[in-house]
Structure 1
């Protein structure tokens, strides 16, 4: 498990293709790998990878299967690219973000970048059906960073978008400052939100049967998803920082 607090930015030092998998050699900042053993997990742009070999104090190799290469942005990585990284959480560690599994659900694209004073805003396009799990003030993991959704919008076809606001410190600690319009991002839905939404949908399907598609169509005409029947409170942050959105530190990765 990971906390969603990006600890460093690593650099792709080498890429080696083998039958059925690709091996990445990553170069880390000094001290990042201290105490780590072969077999330990590292979140690389949100993808949980296992260290298979160490090269000195600050380099490690990771094997990535074809399915992961196809599902995530790792398949497009080249030598010199930069990656958000976080070591696996330990007992007793502060969880400043939210629990993240490192199992990416889908790739999203940056639709728009804005730069208001001392802030950096990313609008991220979300394909259907994943938008049903995205709510304002809710948790979401993007390239391994725990973020708070500042705003969200839905389209009639089930797709949509959400925005995150990033402060200068977040840009310094992560790769988000390099992401322009069209850039691909790894997204992991917050699992509690997913379970709640799917439970509501399953209950409605059980109760309404063939009437559920008609209800969904009616709600889509009004730009509403079935998940709105939960009251909009699924997976939302209720701490005092969230109330300061969109300019507070709660709206970005640490």
Structure 2
């Protein structure tokens, strides 16, 4: 489980491509970040839960299977790119965001970036089958960041960002056209799916 409170950004320092498979290596964002990290631990990369396969000093290795490459933006990364990272939550940790599984449901395309003094608003275009779960003032995970939906219009929605978020995450350099990983709030998904099933059952009755 993750909380969506990104702990930093990590540079991608090595990539090994294989058939329908990729291994990549990140450099720890800080020494403290790597304390207690072991092989087999879970770390979210742009919101996608990956397993540590090897640790070499401040470099950490991960494997990405075919489904991960298909559903997320991790397969598009190149050497030098940076990913949002968060280690798995532990019992007793403060949950400043919202509960997230690290299971990406799809990608959204950045349709607009609007800057104003001390603020940034980013608009995303999302597939209709996922937009039904995006509600104004609801939670959403964007590249592993727990955010509140600001506004919804047709198949687009926006989030509003403060300077701390811009300094700590890849939203500090987000651009129009980028593909971002999306995790829908599971509670919202459960409610919407339940209502749909109930309404469908009533129509059949």
**Normalised-by-shorter TM-score class:** over 0.9
Are 1:166 and 2:161 counterparts? yes
* Counterpart for residue 75 of structure 1: 75
Partner of 1:133: 133
Q: Please name the residue that 1:12 is paired with.
A: 12
Instruction: Look up the match of 1:229.
Output: none
Among residues 178, 187, 190, which one is paired with 2:185 in the alignment?
190
Deviations 1:65-116 (A, max 9, x none): 0111011001101100010000000000000000000000010000101012
Inter-partner Cα distance in structure 2 for 1:83 and 1:59: 14
For 1:29, the equivalent position in structure 2 comes to 29
Deviation for aligned residue 1:19: 4.1
Structure 1 partner of 2:199: 204
Determine the C-alpha separation between the residues in 2 that align with 1:90 and 1:177.
27
Look at both structures and tell me which one has the larger radius of gyration over its CA atoms. Answer: 1
Q: C-alpha offsets along residues 228-249 of structure 1, whole Å, 9 cap, x if unaligned?
A: xxxxxxxxxxxxxxxxxxxxxx
Q: Distance in 1 between matches of 2:19 and 2:76?
A: 17
User: Gaps spanning 5+ residues in structure 2: where?
Assistant: none
Q: Normalization by structure 1: what TM-score?
A: 0.79
Q: Which residue of 2 aligns with 1:48?
A: 49
SS of equivalent to 1:102: coil
Question: How far off is 1:20 after superposition?
Answer: 4.1
The separation in 2 between residues aligned to 1:19 and 1:122, in whole angstroms, is 35
- CA distance in structure 2 between the partners assigned to 1:19 and 1:108 by the alignment: 26
Q: Point out the structure with the larger strand share.
A: 2
1:195-222 Cα offsets, whole Å, 9 max, x none, are 1000000000000139xxxxxxxxxxxx
SS at match of 2:68: helix
Within 5 Å, give how 1:39-188 maps onto structure 2.
39-56=40-57, 58-154=58-154, 160-188=155-183
Q: CA deviation at 1:145?
A: 0.3
3-state SS of paired residue (2:140): strand
Which structure 1 residue ranges, 4+ long, deviate > 3 Å from structure 2? none
Unaligned runs of 5+ in 1: 155-159, 211-254
Task: Give the structure-2-normalised TM-score.
Answer: 0.97
Please give the secondary structure, in 2, of the residue aligned with 1:17. strand
